[in-house]
Amino acid sequence: MRLTATPNGAVEGVAASALSAERLLHELEQLHRTRHETFLYGSDDALRRHTERTTELEAEYLRRFPVRMVTASRTRSGARARETAARIEATPS
Note the pLDDT of residue 1. Answer: 44
Judge whether 61 and 24 are in contact, CB under 8 Å: yes
Q: Is 54 exposed, middle or buried (0-12, 13-18, 19+ CB in 10 A)?
A: middle
pTM of the model: 0.69
Is 5 a residue whose pLDDT tops 60? Answer: no
Note the pLDDT of residue 7. Answer: 61
As a whole-number percent, the residues of the chain with pLDDT over 70 amount to: 87
Note the pLDDT of residue 13. Answer: 80
